[in-house]
Amino acid sequence: MRGWTIALLLGLSATVHAQDLLAPLPVRDQFLLNNGFFFFEPDDARALAPDDLRVRLNATESNTFAKSSWIGTNLAGDRGRANAAAELANSRFQGEGPLFFADGETHRFELTVQRGFGHHLEFGLTVPVSRIGGGWSDSLIEAIHRSLGVGNAGRNTLRQNSETIYIQTAAVRYFRDRSAGYALGDIALTGKYELTALEDKHIAMALEGAIELPTGNARTLAGSGSFDGGVQMLISRELGRSSIHASIGILRLGSDRIVGTPAQIVTTNTIAASRMIDERTSATVQLTMSESPFRHAGLAELTRRSNQLSAGFQRRIGQSMKAYVALIENLLNYENSADAGLAWGITRRF
């Protein structure tokens, strides 16, 4: 009898971890200019069981090279590797209406703690630390673009692995060309309630709410300087060894006086598909579509939705841990999202 009990418990444990492996990748919007604003991370609709504790450490490195079309047109004829800050100080860029330029690499780390409280309720806390700088990946990205024959959109006219951020609108002028180092971002508090009355055996639904506290420095793009928050609907469907997840989120972002964005409502949606490869490994592909906090700034490139594709693997380690790694790439609209990124992390359940 004891042997059957142990076997049953092991079986239940494997089922729980299989569900974890089929969860979406916890990858938020990676655009450099959006680092200080709140964005949801995709999640499974199922809430943690009572007293279950989950601790997750995420890390992402994303490379952004985005600009207004006027800046791109003027850089197209340049030769050599110019200093972006010196180029933007040129008179040809003055008085030409709203302009932006974002060249840099974002390094972001997040510690997330989530706990189940019974009655299908879960609460969480996320503490981010980030740094924006010149990074190291420009040459690699340029080489990949050349090999694919897709062009480098002006990257080859400016110095590699340097940071330059420039925003000029009717409301504000923001410029920086050196890293401020690692800094605490805006801490987020989340709550998720599973809508069991609307579920069946294979479909789970939940509402998740969040509020982000202005603990980060808006001048370094580590925070927004205001309270941000939002609510999203989560839907998960099991298909044997596969799962499909969808989320529809509405964000209320406070004003950011440093970069000139007003208080506003934006939307963000994700659809993800995961499939088990073996008993310990799964593959996940997901697409996140988001509106930009800068869509009212008069910057044409930022009025469109960004499309961020993430693809990666998740693997169980022992009975209580899993790790993941994912590649991030932008699609369709290339001036309002990170060019490329790498994400990885580890999760432990208690």
Average pLDDT, integer, range 108-137: 95
Q: What is the pLDDT of residue 144?
A: 80
Range among 8-12, 263-267, 333-337 rated most confident: 263-267
Averaged pLDDT score across all residues of the chain: 90
Check pLDDT > 90 for residue 159: no
Rounded to 5 degrees, what are φ and ψ at 144?
Answer: -65, -45
Flag whether 47 is in a domain: yes
Q: What is the pLDDT of residue 69?
A: 87
Flag whether 30 is in a domain: yes
Start-to-end C-alpha separation, the chain: 27
Q: What is the pLDDT of residue 343?
A: 98
Average pLDDT, integer, range 268-274: 98
The torsion defined by the Cα of 279, 280, 285 and 289, in degrees rounded to 10, comes to: 120
Q: What is the pLDDT of residue 139?
A: 85
In sequence order, the 6+-apart residues with CB closer than 8 A to the CB of 240 are none
In sequence order, the 6+-apart residues with CB closer than 8 A to the CB of 334 are 66, 153
Structurally, the chain folds into a number of domains equal to 1
pLDDT band at residue 267, thresholds of 50, 70 and 90?
A: very high
| Cα–Cα dist 53/262, whole Å | 37
- The CATH number of the domain holding residue 279 is 2.40.160.40
Flag whether 12 is in a domain: no
Q: Hey, what amino acid is at 338? A: A
Average pLDDT, integer, range 282-308: 95
Rounded to 5 degrees, what are φ and ψ at 206?
Answer: -155, 155
Output the six-digit token pair for 199. Answer: 């579920």
Flag whether 7 is in a domain: no
Could you tell me what percentage of the chain is helix, strand and coil, using 3-state DSSP and rounding each to the nearest 5? 15, 45, 35
Mapping DSSP to helix (H, G, I), strand (E, B) and coil, where does residue 47 land?
coil
Flag whether 236 is in a domain: yes
Flag whether 344 is in a domain: yes
Check pLDDT > 90 for residue 116: yes
What's the maximum distance between 2 C-alpha atoms anywhere in the chain? 84
| Cα–Cα dist 301/67, whole Å | 8
**With pLDDT > 90 as the criterion, what percentage of the chain qualifies?**
72
Flag whether 245 is in a domain: yes
Flag whether 288 is in a domain: yes
Range of the domain at 224: 18-349
- pLDDT tens figures, 80-101: 777 887 878 776 666 667 999 9
pLDDT band at residue 147, thresholds of 50, 70 and 90?
A: confident
Token pair 């069946």 is at which residue?
200
User: In 3D, which of 197, 76, 85, 64 has the Cα closest to residue 137?
Assistant: 64
Token pair 């079986």 is at which residue?
11
Average pLDDT, integer, range 44-56: 94
Rounded to 5 degrees, what are φ and ψ at 216?
Answer: -95, 165
Q: What is the pLDDT of residue 78?
A: 63
Q: What is the pLDDT of residue 77?
A: 63
Q: What is the pLDDT of residue 19?
A: 78
Are the C-beta atoms of residues 211 and 8 closer than 8 Å to each other? no
Rounded to 5 degrees, what are φ and ψ at 323?
Answer: -130, 155
Are the C-beta atoms of residues 232 and 208 closer than 8 Å to each other? yes
Check pLDDT > 80 for residue 12: no
Higher pLDDT, 87 or 219: 219
Average pLDDT, integer, range 208-231: 97
- Please state the pTM of the whole predicted model: 0.89
Higher pLDDT, 199 or 28: 28
Higher pLDDT, 80 or 311: 311
Q: What is the pLDDT of residue 8?
A: 39
Output the six-digit token pair for 122. Answer: 């879960």
Q: What is the pLDDT of residue 95?
A: 64
User: In 3D, which of 217, 174, 222 has the Cα closest to residue 35?
Assistant: 222
Q: What is the pLDDT of residue 17?
A: 56
Q: Which residues pair with 42 in a beta bridge?
A: none
